[in-house]
Every structure is written in C-alpha cells, then in structure tokens.
C-alpha cells in the first residue's frame, strides 16, 4: 500500500486503492445473491414484453433472454478476473490499456450510462409509490402534467421521495449494499413462487400466452421476419448487462478467490434471468384470463390486486428496486467519477454525483416507447461499451498475459502513462469500433433527420455490441502486437 501511495495523489485515494485481504469477504454465494438480486427487477421482467410485442412466442422470448445472458457472462468472467487477482476497480484496470489519463474516457462513458439506468430504476420505484398512494386515495393524484417535464406533480414528488430513500445506502457504502443483496435475494425467489401461485389460483391456470405461436410462422403477421427481429433483440438483451460486464471488477475485487467469482456469477446470472423471463410470460398469460388483456408491467398488475396484497406486492417491488439500483447502477459510476479526480471525489461523492445526474436525465422520457428503449437506449450504449470491453480483454489477456504492475497504475509517470497519460492505440481501436454503428444509431434515434442511411449500416447496428467488441479487439490486438509493455515508459524516480 505504501508503495502505491508514493504515486500520484491525482490517481489514488482509499476507495480506488487495491482491496486488502481483510476486505475480501465475498464468497460464491454472495455473488450469486448479488446476481439473483439484480436479475429480479422490473426492467428485466418487462424485457420479455418487448420481445413478445415484437412478434416472438413465449418460448422464443425466454430463450433469447437466456442466450443473451450466457453470452454476456463470458466478458464478465474475463474482466472480473483482474478485479479478483489485483483488487482493483474497473476505473483503475482501464489505465493499463487506455493510459493513466486516457482511462477517464471509458470511466466517464460507463458512468453516464449507469446514471441513466439509476434514473430509470428510480423512476420505477417512484411509480410504485405513486401507484400505492393512488390505491390508498382511491384514484390518481397530482393534477395535470408539468410543462416541459411530461409528468404531474404527484409523479415528480414520488420520484424524488424514492430517490431520497436510496441516499442512506450511498452514505453507508459498499458493505451495506452487500448485506442488502444477500438478505433480499431469497425473499425475491420466494415472492416469485408466491406470485405464480396467486395467478394460477385466480385464473384457474396459466392461460394460453405461453403456448401461443409466434407471429413469424407461415401465415402470421410477420411471417419470415424472425431473424430480422431476433438479432437486434439479442443485441439489446446483451446490452442490458453490458455496463456490468465492464465494471464487474468493482465487485470481484472483494472476492475471496477466483473460484468464488466464477462460480457465483455463473450460477447467478444466465439461469435466473431466463427463469424470470419465463415467469413474466406465465404471469402475463394469466392476466389475459383475469383482466382481458396482457399486463406486462408488474406495478400495474400489483395495483389491480385487492386488500393487503397490494401493499405487500408494492413493498416487495420497492425493496427489490432499491437493491437492484444500488448494486447495478451506483457502485460502478461512484468509482468511475472518483477516478476522474481522486483527490477531490471520494466513492461517496461519486455516488452523490450519480444520483444528481440521474434526475437531470429525466428517465421517464427514455421509457416513452419500446423503440426508444430498445433501439436507441439499449443498443445505442452497447455500441459504445462493446469496444471498451474488447480493448480491456485483449490488453489483459493477450498483451499483458494477466500480469499487471499494480503500483504503476497509480503513477502519472509510470509505465502505463504512455504519451502524456494517453494510449493512442486504445483510442484508435475504440473509435474504429464505434464508427460503423454511428449511422445506424442516428437513423434509430432521429429517423426524420437521418432517413437515408444505407441498409448495410442499419444491419450493422442490429449487431452493435458484437460489431464493436470484435472490431476494437482485432484492431487493438494488431496495433499492440509484440508490445509486452506500453510503448512509452518512464523510469521510476
């Protein structure tokens, strides 16, 4: 530790320093609980809705979700290795490939995306409070929508209340989040079975939605269009956890052993995510019988329950949303913002910044349409984060052979300073990895302004994460070939 602290105070603080043996308390079941806790969330539940609305059958939607999470598990395990081996967070690991100054770019990109997710989850939590109060008061409240915001005063107030609730965990730090995830994960699994039992008894079965054919079969509304829907959907599902695939070292740095992080993540992510998707389809199938239409929003479904069931259902969803939001969308950006100016920004202050930006992003506008949610938000940021993942993996495994000089990561004049702190090779690989996806993104985000984008770019955009990670990995690997250490090294003083 003392050797690291002799480095630059602009690159080091206690939150960014490698974890000590005493801090490595996470076993495999902590990681499994973390993932079960994060998987059991409202956005993950509603992912199946977006797939079935696009024409898939229930089974196709569930398999797509499972496959996407099996794919994204691989970079998580690969990148997570460095966190466990060296005890460093993502923002510090990125210095090995991007440079001690250049690492601020991928850290900032990851942080801004997480701020958006933090806002989205906070909006869901606020909507639950709004729904609960509406049930108690016997109807909606808050009046007309506020000009410029698009939501009424009641919705805004509930959003801010839920935002404030999460501040307690920002103040009390990482260990409080670990305990919350560990204790609430079993409760969430139990609630899933209770919900299945409730709809089965109420509806007298699970309905026909799960067995309904897709719209892609011969004679269906979208006959022959399966692959044109499957690939962008798969990319979007991968994008759902693309942020965590990058900053997973922020968690694995607390692992007792590599075995703990590998087994814990492998058990906790793909299968629970697929099972949640299946449960969403089954429950929604029953709502067709109960209410005459498919209700994919669990908050809406909870509001239709009667008696004490409403209160219990919404309270469980509130606890769920708090635990997911803090683990998935606060820890990473808090470290990332801290890495931008370690002397001035601690982990807690980074958390405050995350929470502040989340409000300014007005998350309800991101969620206004499925088109905006999947094709603009999920695929759009996966196009940015995929190339970063490709560079990190190639650098750590192919260039460094998993060997890092940790003290040098905290020195502005060390071997990872490259040219003035920036590794131009990483920047070039990143730009080349992002460029092919820009025309498709512009067409998806602003179709009126960019209507004439060539079909090839639209097609590439449907594979955005895969295109980005592959191109950047190849370019970075070729440009860094034979360089066991960075090109520009400075001797230690």
Name the pLDDT band for 212 (thresholds 50, 70, 90): confident
Residue 490 has pLDDT above 70, yes or no: no
According to the model, what pLDDT value does residue 368 have? 67
Q: Which of 249-258, 309-318, 321-330, 352-361 has the lowest mean pLDDT?
A: 309-318
Highest mean pLDDT among 129-143, 201-215, 459-473: 459-473
Distance CA 381, CA 243 (A): 9
pLDDT top residue among 330 and 83 = 83
Residue 1 has pLDDT above 70, yes or no: no
Residue 489 has pLDDT above 50, yes or no: no
Highest mean pLDDT among 156-160, 164-168, 191-195, 323-327: 156-160
Residue 142 has pLDDT above 60, yes or no: yes
Residue 486 has pLDDT above 50, yes or no: no
Residue 323 has pLDDT above 80, yes or no: no
pLDDT digits (tens, 9 = 90+) for 361-418: 888 877 765 445 555 766 778 888 899 999 999 999 999 999 999 999 999 888 898 8
According to the model, what pLDDT value does residue 176 have? 64
pLDDT digits (tens, 9 = 90+) for 420-437: 899 999 999 999 999 999
Name the pLDDT band for 487 (thresholds 50, 70, 90): very low
Q: Are 41 and 234 in contact (CB under 8 A)?
A: no
Percent of the chain with pLDDT over 70: 88
pLDDT digits (tens, 9 = 90+) for 352-362: 999 999 888 88
- CA proximity to 278, closest of 486, 453, 44, 478: 44
Percent of the chain with pLDDT over 90: 27
Name the pLDDT band for 181 (thresholds 50, 70, 90): low
DSSP letter at 141? Answer: -
Start-end of H helices in 138-166: 153-165
Residue 48 has pLDDT above 90, yes or no: no
pLDDT top residue among 175 and 400 = 400
Residue 115 has pLDDT above 80, yes or no: yes
Mean pLDDT of 192-211: 74
Matching residue, tokens 């979700």: 65
According to the model, what pLDDT value does residue 374 have? 53
Mean pLDDT of 121-128: 86
Name the pLDDT band for 491 (thresholds 50, 70, 90): very low
Distance CA 269, CA 35 (A): 6
According to the model, what pLDDT value does residue 214 have? 78
Mean pLDDT of 329-338: 86
What average pLDDT does the structure give for the chain?
A: 82
pLDDT digits (tens, 9 = 90+) for 264-307: 999 988 888 888 888 887 887 777 777 877 777 777 777 776 66
Both tokens assigned to 199 = 């709809």
Distance CA 245, CA 250 (A): 10
pLDDT digits (tens, 9 = 90+) for 213-230: 778 888 778 888 888 888
Distance CA 394, CA 96 (A): 11
pTM for the whole thing?
Answer: 0.82
Start-end of H helices in 204-269: 226-240, 242-247, 249-252, 258-268
Name the pLDDT band for 121 (thresholds 50, 70, 90): confident
According to the model, what pLDDT value does residue 18 have? 94
């Amino acid at each position: 530790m003392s050797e690291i602290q002799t480095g630059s105070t602009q690159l080091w603080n206690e939150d960014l320093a490698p974890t000590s043996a005493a801090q490595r308390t996470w076993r495999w079941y902590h990681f499994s609980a973390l993932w079960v806790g994060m998987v059991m969330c409202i956005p993950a539940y509603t992912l199946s809705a977006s797939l079935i609305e696009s024409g898939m059958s229930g089974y196709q939607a569930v398999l797509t979700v499972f496959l996407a999470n099996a794919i994204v598990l691989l970079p998580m395990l690969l990148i997570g290795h460095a966190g466990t081996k060296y005890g460093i967070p993502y923002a510090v690991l990125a210095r090995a490939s991007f440079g001690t100054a250049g690492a601020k770019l991928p850290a900032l990109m990851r942080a801004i995306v997480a701020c958006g997710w933090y806002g989205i989850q906070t909006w869901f939590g606020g909507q639950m409070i709004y729904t609960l109060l509406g049930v108690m008061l016997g109807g909606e409240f808050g009046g007309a929508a506020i000009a410029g915001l698009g939501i009424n005063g009641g919705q805004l107030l509930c959003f801010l209340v839920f935002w404030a609730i999460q501040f307690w965990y920002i103040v009390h730090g990482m260990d409080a989040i670990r305990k919350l995830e560990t204790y609430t994960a079993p409760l969430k699994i139990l609630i899933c079975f209770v919900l299945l039992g409730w709809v089965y008894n109420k509806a007298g079965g699970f309905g026909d939605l799960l067995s309904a054919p897709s719209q892609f079969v011969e004679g269906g509304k979208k006959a022959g269009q399966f692959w044109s829907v499957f690939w962008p959907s798969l990319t979007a599902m991968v994008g759902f956890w693309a942020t965590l695939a990058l900053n997973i070292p922020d968690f694995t740095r607390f692992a007792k052993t590599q075995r703990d992080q590998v087994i814990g993540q492998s058990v906790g992510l793909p299968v629970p995510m697929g099972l949640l998707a299946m449960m969403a389809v089954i429950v929604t199938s029953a709502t067709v019988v109960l209410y005459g239409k498919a209700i994919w929003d669990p908050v809406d479904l909870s509001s239709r329950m009667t008696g004490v069931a409403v209160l219990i259902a919404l309270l469980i969803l509130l606890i769920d949303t708090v635990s997911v939001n803090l683990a998935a969308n606060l820890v990473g950006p808090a470290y990332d913002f801290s890495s931008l100016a370690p002397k001035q920004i601690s982990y807690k202050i980074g958390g405050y910044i995350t929470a502040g930006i989340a409000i300014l992003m007005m998350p309800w506008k991101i969620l206004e349409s499925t088109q905006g949610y999947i094709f603009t938000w999920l695929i759009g940021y996966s196009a940015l984060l995929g190339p970063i993942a490709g560079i990190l993996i190639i650098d750590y495994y192919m260039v460094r052979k998993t060997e890092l000089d940790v003290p040098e990561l905290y020195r502005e004049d060390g071997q990872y300073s490259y040219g003035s702190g920036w590794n131009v090779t990483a920047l070039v690989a990143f730009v080349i990895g992002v460029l092919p996806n820009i025309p498709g993104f512009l067409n998806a985000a602003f179709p009126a302004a960019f209507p004439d984008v060539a079909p090839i770019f639209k097609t590439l955009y449907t594979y955005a994460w895969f295109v980005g990670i592959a191109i950047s990995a190849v370019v970075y690997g070729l440009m860094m070939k034979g360089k066991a250490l960075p090109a520009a090294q400075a001797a230690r003083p």
